[in-house]
Amino acid sequence: MGDTRLKKVLIVGGGTAGWMSAAVLVHSLGRQYEVQLIESDEISTVGVGEATIPSIIRFNDLIGIDENEFMRRTQATFKLGIQFRNWGAQGDAYIHGFGSMGRKTGLVDFHHYWLKAFQAGRVDRLDDYSINLLACETNRFSRADPSNPNSPLADIRHAFHFDAGLYARYLRGYCEQRGVTRTEGRIDSVQVHPETGFVTSVTMANGDVHAADLFIDCSGFRGLLIEQTLRTGYDDWSHWLPCDSALAVPCESVEPLLPYTRATAHGAGWQWRIPLQHRIGNGHVFCSRFMSQDEATAILLGNLDGKALAEPRLIRFTTGKRKKFWHKNVVAIGLASGFIEPLESTSIHLIQQGIVRLVELFPSQGFLQADIDEYNQQSTTEFEQVRDFIVLHYHATQRRDTPFWEYCATMDVPDTLRRKIDLFRANGRFFRQNDELFNETSWVQVMFGQGIRPQGYHPLADNTADEPTWRMLDNVRTVMHRVVERMPTHAQYIAQHCKAA
| Residues with active-site annotation | 79
Closest approach of ligand FAD to the CB of residue 253, in Å: 18
Helix (H) or strand (E) holding 444: helix 440-449
Which residue's CB is nearer to ligand FAD, number 237 or number 317? 317
Closest approach of ligand FAD to the CB of residue 165, in Å: 10
317 forms part of the interface with ligand FAD (CB under 6 A)? yes
Annotated binding site for FAD: which residue ranges?
14-17, 335, 348
How many other C-beta atoms lie within 10 A of the C-beta of residue 107?
A: 8
340 forms part of the interface with ligand FAD (CB under 6 A)? no
46 forms part of the interface with ligand FAD (CB under 6 A)? yes
353 forms part of the interface with ligand FAD (CB under 6 A)? no
Annotated binding site for 7-chloro-L-tryptophan: which residue ranges?
79
On whether the CB atoms of residues 147 and 34 are closer than 8 A, the answer is no
- For residue 354, CA distances in Å to 329, 390, 476 come to 15, 19, 39
Which residue's CB is nearer to ligand FAD, number 321 or number 429? 321
The single residue among 13, 88, 97, 250 that binds ligand FAD, judged by CB under 6 A, is: 13
Closest approach of ligand FAD to the CB of residue 145, in Å: 27
User: Which range binds ligand FAD by CB under 6 A, 9-17, 91-99, 399-407, 485-493?
Assistant: 9-17
Annotated binding site: which residue ranges?
14-17, 79, 335, 344, 348
Closest approach of ligand FAD to the CB of residue 108, in Å: 34
229 forms part of the interface with ligand FAD (CB under 6 A)? no
- Within residues 186-215, the interface with ligand FAD by CB under 6 A covers 186-187
How many other C-beta atoms lie within 10 A of the C-beta of residue 1?
A: 4
Distance spanning both ends of the chain, measured CA to CA: 57
The single residue among 9, 24, 49, 445 that binds ligand FAD, judged by CB under 6 A, is: 49
Closest approach of ligand FAD to the CB of residue 90, in Å: 24
Which residue's CB is nearer to ligand FAD, number 248 or number 258? 248
14 forms part of the interface with ligand FAD (CB under 6 A)? yes
Q: What is the 3-state secondary structure (H, E, C) of 201-265?
A: EEEECCCCEEECCEEEECCHHHCCCCCCCCCCCEEECCCCCCCCEEEEEEECCCCCCCCCEEEEE
Strands 320-322 and 234-236: antiparallel
Helix (H) or strand (E) holding 274: strand 269-275
204: left (phi over 0), alpha (psi -120 to 50) or beta: beta
On whether the CB atoms of residues 309 and 281 are closer than 8 A, the answer is no
Q: What is the rounded CA–CA span in Å between residue 489 and residue 259?
A: 9
- Within residues 130-189, the interface with ligand FAD by CB under 6 A covers 164, 186-187
15 forms part of the interface with ligand FAD (CB under 6 A)? yes
Closest approach of ligand FAD to the CB of residue 56, in Å: 9
Closest approach of ligand FAD to the CB of residue 273, in Å: 11
275: left (phi over 0), alpha (psi -120 to 50) or beta: beta
Strands of 92-177, DSSP E? 93-97, 159-161
On whether the CB atoms of residues 92 and 86 are closer than 8 A, the answer is yes
User: Which range binds ligand FAD by CB under 6 A, 23-31, 47-55, 69-77, 450-458?
Assistant: 47-55
At 458, is the secondary structure helix, strand, or coil?
coil
Angle at the Cα of 436 from the Cα atoms of 29 and 18, rounded to 5 degrees:
35
The single residue among 23, 57, 241, 246 that binds ligand FAD, judged by CB under 6 A, is: 246
Looking at the DSSP bridge assignments, the partners of residue 87 are: none
128 forms part of the interface with ligand FAD (CB under 6 A)? no
Identity at 123, one-letter amino acid code: V
39 forms part of the interface with ligand FAD (CB under 6 A)? yes
Q: What track of x and - describes contact with ligand FAD for positions 263 through 292 (by CB under 6 A)?
A: --------------------x---------
Q: Which residues of the shown chain bind ligand FAD in the complex (CB under 6 A)? A: 13-18, 38-40, 43, 45-46, 48-52, 164, 186-187, 218-220, 222, 224, 246, 248, 283, 315, 317, 334-336, 342, 345, 347-348, 351
